[in-house]
Amino acid sequence: MGSLEVLKSARSERRPLHEEVGDQLRDHIVRGELAPGERLNERVLCEQLGISRTPLREAIKMLAAENLVELLPNRGARVTRLDAGNVAHTLAVMGALEALAGELACANASEADISEIRALHFEMRAHHARKDLAGYFACNQQIHDRIIAASANPVLATTYRQMNANVRRVRYMANLSQERWDAAVAEHDEILAAFSTRDAARLKRLLAEHLAHKVASVMAAMKANAAA
């Protein structure tokens, strides 16, 4: 398991501690530093995060609601294992949501929205050039989130957020292959071009294809891991 940063005293007073702890644990699950099936050792995590068990347990409950963590009766908790069938079904729905969001965003996004996404795209490309997967992934997620927000459809946005916690793990896994990572960057170039010209039909198609390629990559990786 990768090292977990100790939460500093400069914590935001506006957010409950368990939410900040949940954010850290979620990131480590997404990056595979807390592996599928791994038990969460409360004592070790409390020491690494510099917290008591109460906020940790609240954070674990929060992640359990997102299906990132599985609560074990009287035996603590473990990171939820990925199921290939469920992953495929979930990503199919996410692909449809992102395609619809792209279509709506072309009609509803402001020029400032497009400029912000363009800036994030160039920042994402810089992370890719430095082979900084964590930085790249953060920008990548912001781009997808901004497109969802620009759709101006609150029902779509809420549904997307509810599903996205587990999908983030899969997106990260997909880019562990250098070939797939390079292809994803090229796809994002096309996505930005379509969004910039407000070509709704093209953007809808590109976003659906982009996620479909991730599905294929992740399914191949999961199949290889199962065979190993």
Residue 2: per-residue pLDDT? 53
pLDDT in tens, 107-141: 999 999 999 999 999 999 999 999 998 899 899 99
Cβ contacts of 133-138, under 8 Å, gap ≥ 24: 133/172, 133/175, 133/176, 133/181, 134/31, 136/175, 136/181, 137/30, 137/171, 137/172, 137/175
pLDDT in tens, 30-80: 888 898 899 999 999 999 999 999 999 999 999 998 889 999 988 889 999
At 3, the pLDDT band (50, 70, 90 cuts) reads low
At 228, the pLDDT band (50, 70, 90 cuts) reads low
Residue 66: per-residue pLDDT? 86
At 10, the pLDDT band (50, 70, 90 cuts) reads very low
User: Across residues 74-90, what is the average pLDDT?
Assistant: 86
Of residues 195, 201, 192, 191, the one with CA closest to residue 106 = 195
Is residue 89 over pLDDT 50? yes
pLDDT in tens, 163-201: 887 778 877 776 677 888 899 999 999 999 999 999 999
Residue 226: per-residue pLDDT? 64
- What's the Cα-to-Cα distance from 187 to each of 57, 162, 183, 194, 209, rounded to whole Å? 40, 25, 6, 11, 9
Pick the more confident residue, 103 or 177: 103
Q: What does the angle CA 190 – CA 164 – CA 50 come to, to the nearest 5 degrees?
A: 120
Max intra-chain CA distance, the chain: 56
Beta bridge partners of 70: 78
Residue 218: per-residue pLDDT? 76
When the pLDDT of each residue in the chain is averaged and rounded to a whole number, the result is 87
Residue 84: per-residue pLDDT? 79
Q: In order of start, what are the domains of the chain with their CATH numbers?
A: 17-79 (1.10.10.10), 84-227 (1.20.120.530)
Other Cβ atoms within 10 Å of 170 Cβ, number: 23
Is residue 7 over pLDDT 70? no
- What's the Cα-to-Cα distance from 69 to each of 30, 86, 97, rounded to whole Å? 12, 15, 24
Is residue 12 over pLDDT 50? no
pLDDT in tens, 144-163: 999 999 999 999 999 998 88
pLDDT in tens, 193-218: 999 999 999 999 999 998 888 878 87
Amino acid at position 154, single letter: P
Residue 73: per-residue pLDDT? 85
